Structure 1
Amino acid sequence: MIALLCLCLAAGLGLVWSWAHARRFSLERRLAPRLRGSSTVSVARGPFARMVAPVIADASRLVARLGAPTEELERRLARAGSATAVARHRAQALAGAAAGLAAGLAVGLLLGVARGTGPVVALVVAACGAVLGGLAPDVLLSRRAAARGGRMRHELPAAAEMLALAVVAGESVPAALDRVATLSPGPLGDELRTALAEIRAGRTVASALDRFAARAGEPVVTSFTDALVTAIERGTPLAEVLHAQATDVRDRGRQVLLEEGGKREIAMLVPVVLLILPVTVLFALYPGLIALRLGL
């Protein structure tokens, strides 16, 4: 109970300090709405929202300072194919930390009531819950990015073959990319459609492919786009380059599967060594130990 009262007092003092800090004169804050124009004037909010907004802003800046840089976070969001802005992702991390803190406090209080633990245990559980809640959006984002990258690696060989067939049939590179993007419903097709939109907007094919590789963040895709850009700039036959890239991607996929199989084979030894082998040794030695103990 004392720990809960201390937390409430600290939260109240933080709100008062943030309100006083937000009331300070700032020329940038006064001029920002007029510089942005009349169409983006902020809507009036309630007193509680005005009081909590500085706290959220300060907490977001703290998360930005302690977390990943903005450029790195933008690359991870692009690799995961997420349309979420960096500020919104950090706000989600902040909300997750707050939810984890509340859940940790609830668990700590329940432990205190049921087991009679002290306030230190409640604070430790609350801190662990806040850390886990704050890290949850980043973990989910990394898993989405890894899954999306795996799908792109799986789709790339077939897309390279289709692109080679379209080029051999006499289509230009943008037309071939458009055909492949239409026939690819996965994340690779989405990225190709984005690259085509950039090409239609006036960007060169090489620049659009480079940006496509940067968004994908996969070494296989980067190698494929580099070879395609080099072939376009030097006038190398595209069909041969694309067939070679498709073969290379398949070879890399087989190598990745072999490496994954080797890791799984090693992981399979863990239950054998830690569970099955000790039980087998116990069953083999137990009758002899009993016989020695009984003197038989």
Structure 2
Amino acid sequence: MTAVLCVCLAAGLGLVWSWAHARRFSLERRLAPRLRGSGAAPPARSPLARIVAPVADDVVRLAARWGAPTDELERRLARAGSATTVARHRAHSLAAGSAGLAGGLALGLLLGAARGTGPGIALVIAACAAVLGALTPDALLARRAAARAARVRAELPAAAEMLALAVVAGESVPAALDRVAALSPGPLGDELRTALAEIRAGRSVGAALDRLAARVGDGGVTAFCDAIVTALERGTPLAEVLHAQATDVRDRSRQTLLEEGGKREIAMLVPVVLLILPVTVLFALYPGLVALRLGI
């Protein structure tokens, strides 16, 4: 009960502070209606919306100040291939943090009713649950970005070979990219189609490939795009460069698999040392201990 009263008091103080902050004089707020370009009045909002809006604005500004920068978050969303905007992602983080806070308070109250724990334990559980809930969307986004980069890296050697064959056949680089994008249904095809759209809009091939590498954020894709841009700028035979890049990507993938196998081999020692070995030692020593106890 004490924890609920503390939370209600904190919420009330936050509402009072937000109301006072919203009524503070601001030249930007006074001039904004005159600079909109239309005389239409803003839509009327309910009293609850007018009370909650300053709190929501303050929370969003606080999340933008102390959270990830907008540019970095935009890069993460692009690498994950997500159509979600930065504001919506931050809203999801705030909603997840609020849900975690509510769940932590409920768990703390249940522990207090069942075990008699104090309000401090409930507040600590609520704070940890809120932080965990707020960080969950970022963790899921990073996982999606890593999985998408791995898929792009797996599709890159075949795409490089097809691009080399199309260039050897006499097609230009945009036409070859269009052909490879049509034959690539995965995320690499989506990135190539985005680059083609930028090329058709007037951007150069090198700039479009640089933006593609920045969106994917993978070292192999960056090296591949840089090699193509360098070959175009210096007049190097593009087919040879593409074949060499495909070989390098395959070698890099093989090296990555070997490193992953080494990590898995070390991880396999954990159940052996913690589960199988103690049971084996127990089975080996138990008959002797029983014989010593019985005096046989």
Runs (5+) with no aligned partner, structure 2: none
Alpha-carbon distance in structure 1 between the residues aligned to 2:141 and 2:100: 18
Runs (5+) with no aligned partner, structure 1: none
Alpha-carbon distance in structure 1 between the residues aligned to 2:179 and 2:39: 41
Alpha-carbon distance in structure 1 between the residues aligned to 2:42 and 2:285: 78
Kindly provide the CA deviation profile for residues 148-180 of structure 1, in whole angstroms up to 9, marking residues without a partner as x. 101100111111111111111111101111111
Q: Find the residue that maps to 1:38 and give its secondary structure.
A: coil
Taking only the aligned residue pairs, the percentage that are identical comes to 81
Normalising by structure 2, we get a TM-score of 0.96
> Which letter does structure 2 place at the counterpart of 1:172?
S
1:184 CA drift (Å): 1.1
Residues 1:101 and 2:101 aligned together: yes
Normalising by structure 1, we get a TM-score of 0.96
Superposition pairs of residues 115-126 of structure 1, within 5 angstroms: 115-126=115-126
Q: Find the residue that maps to 1:44 and give its secondary structure.
A: coil
Partner of 2:241: 241
Structure 1 runs (4+) deviating above 6 angstroms are none
RMSD: 1.5
Alpha-carbon distance in structure 2 between the residues aligned to 1:103 and 1:226: 49
Kindly provide the CA deviation profile for residues 112-156 of structure 1, in whole angstroms up to 9, marking residues without a partner as x. 222222211211111111011100110110011011101100111
Partner of 1:211: 211
Partner of 1:23: 23
> Residues 30 and 183 of structure 1: is their aligned pair in 2 closer, same or farther, counting only changes over 3 Å?
farther
Superposition pairs of residues 36-47 of structure 1, within 5 angstroms: 36-38=36-38, 42-47=42-47
Superposition pairs of residues 1-296 of structure 1, within 5 angstroms: 1-38=1-38, 42-296=42-296
1:42 CA drift (Å): 4.6
1:39 CA drift (Å): 9.7
Cα pair 1:33 1:40 within 8 Å, conserved: no
Alpha-carbon distance in structure 1 between the residues aligned to 2:38 and 2:174: 41
> Which letter does structure 2 place at the counterpart of 1:283?
F
Q: Find the residue that maps to 2:53 and give its secondary structure.
A: helix
> Residues 144 and 283 of structure 1: is their aligned pair in 2 closer, same or farther, counting only changes over 3 Å?
same
1:43 CA drift (Å): 3.1
Number of aligned residues: 296
1:71 CA drift (Å): 2.1
Cα pair 1:165 1:239 within 8 Å, conserved: yes
> Residues 40 and 248 of structure 1: is their aligned pair in 2 closer, same or farther, counting only changes over 3 Å?
farther
> Which letter does structure 2 place at the counterpart of 1:29?
R
